[in-house]
Amino acid sequence: MEQASAFVVATRTALSQLTALGIQYSFSVIGAILLLIVGWAAARLLSRWAHNGLSRVNGIDATLAQFFSNIIRYAVLIIVVVMVLGQFGVQTASVLAALGAIGLAVGLALQGTLQNIAAGIMLLVLRPFRVGESIETGNVSGTIVDVGLFATELRTAEGVYRLAPNSTLWNVPITNYSRLHTRRHEISVTLSADQSLDEAEATLKSIARAETRVESNPAPTTYLADFDAGSAKLTLRYWIKSAQWWAVSRDMTKAVKLAFDKVVEEEVPADAQDDGPASYTP
């Protein structure tokens, strides 16, 4: 009988303790759920505000805006999780210390990746090149296809796909062939001693003026680049649109070659043409 009474008392005591614990932790659970709901909504709202605000800033790439908005979202969620753990009596200071240690370890393990991310952010902010532009660095050249946070995609002149880590593009000088509206091109010809320098200059300028894709401002110019006792090097300098540089420069080189072939044929007598044309090198 006494054992039964002791069992009943122990059971009642355990139930009362469980009830007290349930009441105590029920408020903690309800508070944690409310914190999670409010924190999740706040994270999404702040992330959206940051994304919209950064998207309206001139020069901020969409990828960069999304990256910073995601950082804000995850930072808010981490704070919310730490607050939820504090609801259940977990020492948040130790949690924060553990997160810091984990972050340090991950940072040391991913030094190269983080370096690419930092370089990607700088490339997206400063914009030394954009999609569609043709660039060249010490080891990389091609047309930009996409600029990401980790790497940049390019298409080479041969039609080959190339992926370059952002750190390799940020730490070296970059030549952007498409950024400026116009580019200069030069064609040099070597005249023999019996060829007229004035006539050669007039021929080069007339070829440049006849090509409608050559810019009139600044006007095409010629200058004597070099000479010796037996020859002279004459150079034509003109400007063309960057998007048309390759096509126009090839067409102009061909036009100069044909024009000077014709000049040589007219100057050489018919009975002396078997000896070959006079010396010139377009």
pLDDT at 99: 67
pLDDT digits (tens, 9 = 90+) for 89-121: 666 666 667 667 766 665 655 556 788 888 888
Compute the C-alpha angle 158/160/166, nearest 5°.
120
Using CA atoms, how far residue 266 sits from 269, 273, 278, in Å, is 7, 10, 11
| pLDDT over 90, % of the chain | 32
Cα separation, 281 vs 51, in Å, equals 59
Average pLDDT over residues 35-51: 85
pLDDT digits (tens, 9 = 90+) for 201-250: 999 999 999 999 999 999 999 999 998 888 899 999 999 999 999 999 99
pLDDT at 65: 74
Ranking 27-41, 62-76, 102-116 by mean pLDDT, the lowest is 102-116
Confidence of residue 162 (pLDDT cuts 50, 70, 90): very high
Ranking 52-61, 78-87, 135-144, 157-166 by mean pLDDT, the lowest is 52-61
Domain ranges of the chain: 2-109, 125-176, 182-275
CATH number corresponding to 182-275: 3.30.70.100
Torsion of CA 223, 225, 228, 229, to 10 degrees: -20
pLDDT at 229: 81
CB 253 within 8 A of CB 282: yes
Task: Judge if the upstream peptide bond of residue 165 is cis by omega within 30 degrees of 0.
Answer: no
What is the chain's mean pLDDT, rounded? 80
Fold of 2-109: Helix Hairpins (1.10.287)
Give the architecture (CATH level 2) of 125-176: Roll (2.30)
Confidence of residue 195 (pLDDT cuts 50, 70, 90): confident
Looking at per-residue confidence, does 152 or 31 come out higher?
152
Average pLDDT over residues 112-141: 86
The model carries a pTM of 0.62
pLDDT at 27: 61
